[in-house]
Structure 1
Amino acid sequence: MTDWTDTLPESATAYLEGRRLDEVECVISDLPGIARGKAVPASKFAKQKHFHLPDSIFFQTITGDWSEAADEDGFIEKDMILKPDMSTATAAPWTGDWTLQVIHDAYDRHGAPIPYAPRNVLKRVVALYEAQGWTPVVAPEMEFFLIARNLDPAKDIAPMTGRSGRPAAARQAYSMTAVDEFGPVIDDIYDFAESQGFEIDGITQEGGAGQLEINLRHGHPVKLADEVFYFKRLIREAALRHDCFATFMAKPIADEPGSAMHIHHSILDIETGQNLFSGPQGGETDMFYHFIGGLQTHLPAAIAVMAPYVNSYRRYVKDHAAPINLEWGRDNRTTGIRIPLSEPQGRRVENRLAGMDCNPYPGIAASLACGYLGLMEERRPTKQFRGDAYEGDGDFPQVLGQALDVFDEASALHEVLGPEFCRVYATVKRAEYEEFLQVISPREREHLLLNV
């Protein structure tokens, strides 16, 4: 092996022990969170310091069409310089040969970070915290469905068939028997995660048919976003080995709960490592309340980033394990902002709005941005909500078009996330929304064709 492999993370070194590395996948997240890049022989990767991709990969809609998001130079597909972050080197254990994946960061020809590259957006927000002497800490929860292979978009999505031979049943939350139904898939998820050096905090059965949740250990936002980015691919590959699909759609099955990416937040003092949400005697601090106030104030504008597709808003249904409001409460899963039970050193704030269909980099960045604005503005939250928050009305956008309208006017949020990212993001999402409006649904044909 070549010299560059001496600096690989421990898990990657262990994966390659006694083996010859064949290939390196040089990857970067596009706007939806899809891995883009190229695969190169290991011998070539050892010689290259960077590679190029056109900036247009960030201007594509989810359908592959092009938006009008190019800058004043026009749609000339300028090359970006992509440099590897070797701390992200990890195995691709599902491949036929010995392969590593490496996440790259995007720069322009002058060495400046590309402002609409998703990983750069998150780094920008983290840097704002660090400039204040704070270290933000997050812990994402990943919900997803294991479904039967679906080759026809016109066909309803169905849960996968478990080892018993019966289709997965709904409303079996936290059932170990239900988890055992998917044992072979889960075994591969564990094996792949171990090979990649990822620590899973737990896997549970959620309320939907074939719906699982994976919790990750808390840590640095960029590291955790990298892991979610990698995990989505890992889980899909594990499912394919067992003749089923894994989907991260926010609402894949009409009568089932949706899939969220709940984000737990805390903030540490850089010098002392103390949780700044807890005071010397263990009480809740002003920063704790200001962070909640920031979420309540700015999440309506950020929802377009955390719920990026038309389908995302189908998740926000009363009594279906998804928030419809921005109330906050302690140990209350009906509120959009939840304070979990914890000791003072583990005090954290859980944002329950983000969908699992969002790109983890801007999704986590937007959530942190809302909290950051609350801290800087010293926002006070509303009174703690007690009781069933589903009894109230929704108080954030419920459709993508409305969410984009609110996002467009959010100048304070734009300054934190980066104006150029917000411009490109809104342009791409507007194009996707207009694409959606051109499609006539079966429901429209069923109820309008002969009745209006």
Structure 2
Amino acid sequence: MTPEDVLQFARERDVKMVDFKFVDVPGTWQHFSVPIRELEENTFIEGKPFDGSSIRGFQTIDESDMLIIPDPDTAIMDPFTAVPTLSLVCNIAHPGPGMHKKPYSRDPRYIALKAEEYLRSSGIADTSYFGPEAEFFIFDNVRFNSANNIQYAEVDSDEAYWNNSRNGSANLGHRLRVKEGYFPVAPNDTLQDVRSEMALILEELGVLVEAQHHEVGGAGQAEIDIRFNTLLKTADNLMLYKYVTKNTARKHGKTVTFMPKPIFGDNGSGMHVHQSLWSGEKPLFYDSEGYAGLSQLARYYVGGLLTHAPALLGIVASTTNSYKRLVPGFEAPVNLVFSKGNRSAAVRIPLTDCPSAKRIEFRPPDPTANPYLAFSALLMAGLDGVRREIDPSEHGYGPVDRDLYHMPEEELREIRSV
């Protein structure tokens, strides 16, 4: 879209307010709104001012003046506002003399743009595609407090096993047992319609959905798979994914959390990230003669991911709770090897003979990560592997085509862990 296209889009929908969204360093959307008369073509060039000192990870109070610059390609109608509201995702820029409209170096969206620019300048490829699988829990009740005299946290799901003897319930049956929540039908799966509503809203907003289903966690764990796209577009889509799932759940009196490990003893929520590189219309990760159909370039990319995995975790698994998930025994990918079709490895190579579908899946990330920073870091690590020709087999990263979760302890000790 051009700025004029956006203004026409707004006129056709009788927009009253414009909501400017941008992402902070931890990966949360922030926003402020203005009446539609305040949106002009010039706004997409000159931006709108805001206080950068009040945003986590941005400016100190003595240098707090910042600008948002709306991206016209992100224009959508916000599906959750009663007042007709146009939503625009923004980049961050400096306003001052000599710095006017210079991109802000701490803006996560700008970092994603720079990562894509670096890829194009590298000569290795011109396009990177990312496909995240962000899992989440849908809770019926969340309570917590930390005061001078009390401290507690409680989450509850009507589906959870602990409610099979709840007093006052009309029906205590059809509760899912721990770690038995993958793909059950109703009446065990009570959240089908909620997930479908989320998926259809995403589709209406231009985010293509491939599937939605109940996940392994019995207390309302879910996953909605969205179609892969370029790095920046996928990061934008993932932010919208979180916005839609959380607000749809709220409409039903429920709470969505992307916390990696909200329930002790049950599966956590990961964000497995599928990745591939292309040059024009040519997929670069496929070679029919290679292991699992991988090209040598793809192997080097895998080598970069596995070599840098411990450092990557600080970005792709960025909370203390992330490391409650990354433990053995809960389908968590803690073993630094690659393997074909093997979900116990940190890097899985999905089985396919289709060149355009050949990709690698990095499994340690979780959905608390800032997607702009996470995808950029993964791309840089993979490209470093290509640049330095880090073959994973030559560095002890496999392939290991065995169930790593049930490997004898003495053999497992020989495999590095995240």
- Same-fold status (TM-score > 0.5): yes
2:263 to 243, 246, 253: 253
* 1:242-276 per-position Cα deviation (integer Å, ceiling 9, x unaligned): 11100000111112111111110110013xx1111
Is it true that 1:38 corresponds to 2:29 in the alignment? no
- Structure 2 unmatched runs, 5+: 146-151, 161-169
> 8 Å contact 1:137–1:267 — kept in the other structure?
yes
Query: Which residue pairs with 1:95 in the alignment?
Result: 81
> 8 Å contact 1:93–1:195 — kept in the other structure?
no
Superposition TM-score, scaled by structure 2 size = 0.83
Give the residue type in structure 1 aligned to 2:114.
Answer: R
1:265 to 275, 294, 309: 275
Structure-2 change in CA distance of 1:354 and 1:304 (3 Å): same
SS of residue in 2 equivalent to 1:258:
coil
Aligned counterparts of 2:32 and 2:347: Cα–Cα separation in 1: 40
Query: Which residue pairs with 2:361 in the alignment?
Result: 350
* 1:357-391 per-position Cα deviation (integer Å, ceiling 9, x unaligned): 11111111111111011011111103301212233
Is it true that 1:277 corresponds to 2:300 in the alignment? no
Alpha-carbon offset, residue 182 of structure 1: 0.8
Aligned counterparts of 1:107 and 1:160: Cα–Cα separation in 2: 46
> 8 Å contact 2:195–2:213 — kept in the other structure?
no
Query: Which residue pairs with 2:106 in the alignment?
Result: 116
Superposition TM-score, scaled by structure 1 size = 0.77
Give the residue type in structure 1 aligned to 2:62.
Answer: I
2:50 to 29, 48, 53: 53
How do residues 289-304 of structure 1 correspond to structure 2 at under 5 angstroms? 289-304=299-314
Is it true that 1:128 corresponds to 2:118 in the alignment? yes
Query: Which residue pairs with 1:334 in the alignment?
Result: 344
1:219 to 214, 229, 232: 229
* Bigger fraction of residues in helix: 1
> 8 Å contact 1:148–1:161 — kept in the other structure?
no
SS of residue in 1 equivalent to 2:367:
coil
Alpha-carbon offset, residue 7 of structure 1: 4.2
Structure-2 change in CA distance of 1:337 and 1:84 (3 Å): same
SS of residue in 2 equivalent to 1:27:
strand
Give the residue type in structure 2 aligned to 1:117.
Answer: D
Alpha-carbon offset, residue 395 of structure 1: 3.7
Give the residue type in structure 2 aligned to 1:83.
Answer: I
1:200 to 199, 209, 212: 209
Alpha-carbon offset, residue 122 of structure 1: 1.4
The higher-RCO structure (CA 8 Å, 6+ apart) is 1
> How many residues get paired?
377
When structure 1 is superposed on structure 2, of 230-239 and 149-158 the one drifting more is: 149-158
Structure-2 change in CA distance of 1:301 and 1:396 (3 Å): farther
> 8 Å contact 1:91–1:195 — kept in the other structure?
no
* Bigger fraction of residues in strand: 2
Structure-2 change in CA distance of 1:39 and 1:323 (3 Å): same
When structure 1 is superposed on structure 2, of 37-46 and 242-251 the one drifting more is: 37-46
Alpha-carbon offset, residue 183 of structure 1: 2.8
After superposing on structure 2, the runs of 4+ consecutive aligned residues of structure 1 that deviate more than 4 Å are 164-168, 280-283
> 8 Å contact 1:30–1:36 — kept in the other structure?
yes
Give the residue type in structure 2 aligned to 1:20.
Answer: D
Query: Which residue pairs with 1:388 in the alignment?
Result: 403
Query: Which residue pairs with 2:14 in the alignment?
Result: 20
SS of residue in 2 equivalent to 1:184:
helix
Give the residue type in structure 1 aligned to 2:141.
Answer: R
* 1:59-100 per-position Cα deviation (integer Å, ceiling 9, x unaligned): 45xxxxxxxx86xxx652432221111101112111112112
Aligned counterparts of 1:227 and 1:160: Cα–Cα separation in 2: 30
Aligned counterparts of 2:333 and 2:226: Cα–Cα separation in 1: 21
> 8 Å contact 1:160–1:244 — kept in the other structure?
no
